[in-house]
Structure 1
Amino acid sequence: MKGRTVLVVDDDKDILDIIKIYLQNDRFEVITACDGGAAIEKLKEQDVDLIILDIMMPGLDGLHTCLEIRKEKKIPIIMLSAKDDPSSKILALDIGADDYVTKPFNPLELVARVRSQIRRYSEFNEERSQNRGKIVIDDLVIDTESHRVFVGENSVELTPIEFSILKVLAENRGRVLSTENIYENVWNEPFYNSKNTVAVHIRNIREKIEINPGKPKYIKVVWGVGYKIDR
């Protein structure tokens, strides 16, 4: 994607070089950092469209770096890790990552994920200037013009992925959407072994919009089928 800038953060120079080559071949501008502290300083100097962030780094690791970035920015973050256990992936998504890629990885697949995340985020920002009205479900208000969510008088801060999932469910309220339906609608790519990804994001949304996440008022689970918001 010509004109798009990606920040790649990893303490392994070989991995940095490989990712940089493949991204540049796809016409991305690439800047690099070798640790979390350097990445945060780079973000103060230059705007980027996406961050690829390794978890295991000396000094400020990827998880703490992600937390710091999320205090100021909502740009897409793809985490890299040698850990492929579900708990590590869930933790990364919980603290604000948009995607999680395990090492070793296929560089072409990583570039495809970068394109997908930037495309989704760009569409998210483009829609902010268009008046799509509001979706009102009891005291839950989804403002699709400003991409803000309110529960009663309280504003709720959702990440772009979380907002997109909530919006898809709200636009299809009364209909049960499978995990696959949700994933393909939000990520705009084929579903593959991504049940945990969707489940974690929905859990995060519930914690933000529900008074009692254990007894959800809005997003209901239909066991063995998927999720829905009642009419």
Structure 2
Amino acid sequence: MNRPQILVVEDDPAVRNLITTTLETQDYQFHTAQNGGQAIMEAVSGNPDVILLDLGLPDMDGTEIIKKVRSWSQVPIIVISARGEAKDKIEALDLGADDYLTKPFLVEELLARLRVALRRLQYQNAEQKPEETEFINGDLKIDYVSGCVWLKEKEVHLTSTEYRLLVLLAKNIEKVLTPTFITKEIWGSAWENNIASLRVFMATLRKKIEEVPSQPRYIQTHVGIGYRMLRISDK
């Protein structure tokens, strides 16, 4: 990927300068927006690779920007906000944000989150095919055609719900998925009755694909937020 284009949406001059200076030192190209209206215009015209988004903007709430951008684009969105409550994080992630960083933050952590988003974008671009037939991550393999799963070349027998959970996480690798999002995708209109069941199914899935379920390698829990499949680096 040639010099990624980052859109920085931040109305606080000090924070905006911190972020843009950090991006400049890492050779990222960037555009800035100080309010929601500018942010949407830049997102449309600038075609950024990643959006760094503050929620507390002077003309509209950042969650509105997430909803508008998601109506036409899947560009990675990393929220950077002073709102640290779990409900705020869950709302932003449910609306389509890919990650959430709470102010004050370390620039090293911001850069790490940005690298994750760009890696995910690279994988998505590299794997774009008319129809994806399989997923490989470390020792884990999913054959979408046969509906079979292997771990270290040994077939893993999953229930229908476990398989759908695994596929959902795999197709959103490196992205935190909230329980509400997962249950809506898996159970549809009956999602509210299955929030508690999700923990049970996630536990049984981990027992089948994790060597040490209490120290998961593939499926990470973000306490109070949701679940994420980690990409296993090739050795």
Q: TM-score, normalised by structure 1?
A: 0.67
Deviation at 1:44, TM superposition (A): 2.2
Paired residue for 1:206? 183
CA contact (8 A) 2:158 2:205 kept: no
2:88 and 2:56 map into 1 onto residues whose CA distance is: 12
Deviation at 1:125, TM superposition (A): 2.1
Paired residue for 1:221? 199
2:59 and 2:131 map into 1 onto residues whose CA distance is: 44
Paired residue for 2:110? 110
CA contact (8 A) 1:33 1:39 kept: yes
Structure 1 residues 62 and 124, CA, compared in 2 at 3 Å: closer, same or farther?
same
Supply the AA of the counterpart residue of 2:182: I
1:223 and 1:208 map into 2 onto residues whose CA distance is: 14
Supply the AA of the counterpart residue of 1:107: V
Deviation at 1:209, TM superposition (A): 4.2
1:26-63: CA deviation from partner (whole Å, max 9, x where unpaired): 11111100011101111222111000000011102211
Which residues of structure 2 form unaligned runs of 5+?
136-141, 146-154, 164-168, 209-235
Paired residue for 2:226? none
1:186 aligned onto 2:173: yes
1:4 and 1:121 map into 2 onto residues whose CA distance is: 11
Structure 1 residues 227 and 35, CA, compared in 2 at 3 Å: closer, same or farther?
farther
Supply the AA of the counterpart residue of 1:221: R
1:47 aligned onto 2:47: yes
Structure 1 residues 209 and 37, CA, compared in 2 at 3 Å: closer, same or farther?
same
Structure 1 residues 173 and 215, CA, compared in 2 at 3 Å: closer, same or farther?
farther
Structure 1 residues 27 and 2, CA, compared in 2 at 3 Å: closer, same or farther?
farther
Deviation at 1:129, TM superposition (A): 2.9
Sequence identity, in percent? 31
- Counting only pairs closer than 5 Å after superposition, residues 1-231 of structure 1 correspond to structure 2 as 2-129=2-129, 132-133=132-133, 174=158, 186-187=173-174, 197-198=176-177, 200=178, 202-211=179-188, 212-214=190-192, 220-222=198-200, 225=203, 227=205
Deviation at 1:94, TM superposition (A): 1.1
Larger of the two Rg values belongs to structure: 2
1:143 and 1:28 map into 2 onto residues whose CA distance is: 37
1:86-126: CA deviation from partner (whole Å, max 9, x where unpaired): 11111111111111111000011101101111111220121
CA contact (8 A) 1:10 1:35 kept: yes
Runs (4+) off by over 6 Å:
142-145
Structure 1 residues 122 and 130, CA, compared in 2 at 3 Å: closer, same or farther?
farther
Structure 1 residues 144 and 51, CA, compared in 2 at 3 Å: closer, same or farther?
farther
2:157 and 2:26 map into 1 onto residues whose CA distance is: 39
Over the residues paired in the alignment, what is the CA RMSD in angstroms? 3.7
